[in-house]
């Protein structure tokens, strides 16, 4: 009888333990992450792989712009992962809407190219950028540089810089963006730090007035959209232009006479980053998500499906269906990228007004 009772007790304990284990397993599998990403950054296949491997359900929301996600968090909204662009991250820091990352929980951080680590915008010590803890990790990135029709412009492309947009022999055969980005070209070409716009806005703008007018007088047209520029280049109305690398790849892939190069002074660079909000409900899961996305095979799928460049080393080699030569940058080129700053509304208004004056008034 005692043996029977003992067996019953053992079986009961085992049953209760199995229920407890199942409950814990179910609780782990029911973990969720509210993720806010840009369109194309999280392919369906990648999301399914993450959920299957971790048991964490992803609630995926697409970001329309940086302002919307900032407004969401500022208003008390909830998110576990967001992807602000690098020139917007300090807004989240100063409003205490972000938390420092625990890099020990992101071992695949080792896969991120060194050029994207320890950038001033990625670190925050509570009062200023550039020191303290790491708050964001760069992921998808892009550049803007120079597109050249090599059948029309036959000069050497070695060491080429923004100055090509000012060549007299290319008058009315060049183009640039109809925005303040063209002013940044003038600043970079003249060696004037963009940060000067925040120190003495009007004096800095006045310093490039002559260069901006020179650019205006040399272009055929300042373009408004990427498709407009592609038409200008394909129709050979324009032979050389400032262009973002996405359009540049598309054009170069369709016709090898088009070459995309980064200027010698450094192309413009932007990157969308991984950030964990201060109010994240599942920070542990958020760290797992970032670590997962930094895997080489996963980053390769992002490039394959969306055509985006990521900061993950070796991912281009694994990506399928792309012309790898159009995605490869040297460490020197990446290291010389000029990052856009997060200007105040006053500065933005000032240089937009200045650009409007330069681009519309006959000089």
Q: What is the pTM of this model?
A: 0.79
The winner for highest mean pLDDT among 215-219, 266-270, 352-356 is 215-219
The two domains 32-135+270-335 and 143-267+341-360 share their CATH topology (first three levels equal) = yes
N-term to C-term CA, the chain: 107
Per-residue tokens: 301: 């799928």
Whether the predicted pLDDT of 128 surpasses 50: yes
Q: What is the mean pLDDT of residues 298-318?
A: 94
Alpha carbon dihedral 102, 39, 177, 196, in 10-degree steps, equals -20
Whether the predicted pLDDT of 156 surpasses 90: yes
Per-residue tokens: 19: 């229920």
- Tell me the CATH number for domain 143-267+341-360: 3.40.190.10
More confident residue, 112 or 328: 112
Q: What is the mean pLDDT of residues 90-113?
A: 96
pLDDT value at residue 196: 93
**Exposure b/e, 161-200, CB count within 10 A at least 16 = b:** bbebbbeeebeebbbbbbebebbbbbbbbeebebeebeee
DSSP one-letter string for 88-123: GHHHHHHTT-B----GGG-GGGGGB-GGGSS-GGGE
Q: What gap in Å lies between CA 263 and CA 248, rounded to an integer? A: 14
Q: What is the mean pLDDT of residues 251-261?
A: 91
pLDDT digits (tens, 9 = 90+) for 238-247: 999 999 888 8
pLDDT digits (tens, 9 = 90+) for 16-47: 444 444 444 333 334 999 999 998 899 999 99
Q: Percent of the chain beyond pLDDT 90? A: 66
Whether the predicted pLDDT of 100 surpasses 90: yes
Q: What is the mean pLDDT of residues 38-67?
A: 94
Range name among 26-30, 234-238, 279-283, 345-349 with the lowest pLDDT average: 26-30
Q: What is the mean pLDDT of the chain?
A: 89
Burial of 16 (0-12, 13-18, 19+ CB in 10 A): exposed
pLDDT value at residue 363: 56
With beta carbons less than 8 A apart as the criterion, state whether 307 and 246 touch: yes
* Integer CA distances (angstroms), 344 to 49, 88, 263, in order: 40, 11, 27
Backbone angles phi, psi at 161, to 5 degrees: -135, -175
Question: 314: Cβ–Cβ under 8 A, 6 or more apart, which residues?
Answer: 111, 296
- For the chain, give percent helix, strand, coil, nearest 5: 50, 20, 30
Residue 6 pLDDT class (50, 70, 90 cuts): low
CATH homologous superfamily of 32-135+270-335 equals Periplasmic binding protein-like II (3.40.190.10)
pLDDT value at residue 320: 93
With beta carbons less than 8 A apart as the criterion, state whether 233 and 251 touch: yes
pLDDT value at residue 10: 44
pLDDT digits (tens, 9 = 90+) for 161-170: 999 999 999 9
More confident residue, 11 or 133: 133
Q: Percent of the chain beyond pLDDT 70? A: 91
What are the residue ranges spanned by the domains of the chain? 1-30, 32-135+270-335, 143-267+341-360
């Amino acid at each position: 009888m005692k043996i029977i009772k003992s067996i019953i007790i053992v079986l009961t304990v085992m049953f209760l333990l199995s229920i407890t284990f199942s409950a814990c397993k179910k609780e782990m599998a029911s973990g969720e992450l509210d993720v806010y990403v840009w369109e194309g950054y999280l392919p369906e296949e990648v999301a399914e792989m993450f959920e299957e491997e971790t048991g964490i359900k992803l609630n995926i929301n697409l970001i329309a712009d940086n302002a919307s996600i900032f407004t969401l968090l500022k208003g008390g909204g909830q998110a576990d992962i967001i992807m602000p662009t690098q020139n917007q991250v300090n807004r989240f820091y100063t409003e205490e809407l972000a938390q420092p990352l625990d890099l020990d929980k992101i071992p695949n951080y080792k896969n991120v190219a060194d050029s994207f680590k320890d950038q001033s915008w990625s670190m925050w010590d509570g009062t200023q950028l550039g020191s303290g803890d790491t708050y964001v990790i760069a992921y998808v990135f892009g550049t803007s540089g120079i597109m050249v029709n090599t059948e029309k412009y036959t000069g050497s492309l070695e060491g080429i810089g923004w100055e090509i947009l000012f060549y007299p022999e290319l008058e009315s055969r060049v183009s640039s963006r109809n925005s303040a980005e063209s002013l940044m070209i003038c600043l970079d070409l003249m060696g004037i730090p963009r940060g000067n716009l925040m120190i003495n806005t009007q004096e800095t703008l006045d310093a490039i007035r002559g260069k901006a007018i020179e650019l205006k007088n040399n272009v055929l047209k300042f373009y408004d959209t990427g498709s407009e520029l592609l038409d200008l280049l394909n129709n050979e109305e324009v032979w050389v232009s400032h262009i973002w690398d996405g359009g540049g790849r598309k054009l170069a892939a369709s016709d090898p006479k088009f070459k995309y190069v980064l200027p010698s002074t450094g192309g413009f660079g932007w990157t969308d980053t991984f950030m964990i909000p201060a109010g994240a409900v599942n920070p542990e899961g958020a760290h797992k998500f970032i670590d997962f996305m930094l895997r080489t095979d996963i980053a390769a799928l992002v490039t394959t499906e969306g055509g985006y460049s990521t900061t993950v080393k070796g991912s281009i080699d694994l990506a399928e269906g792309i012309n790898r030569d159009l995605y490869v940058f040297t460490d020197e080129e990446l290291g010389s990228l000029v990052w856009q700053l997060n200007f105040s509304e006053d500065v933005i208004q000032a240089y937009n007004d200045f650009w409007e004056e330069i681009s519309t008034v006959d000089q």
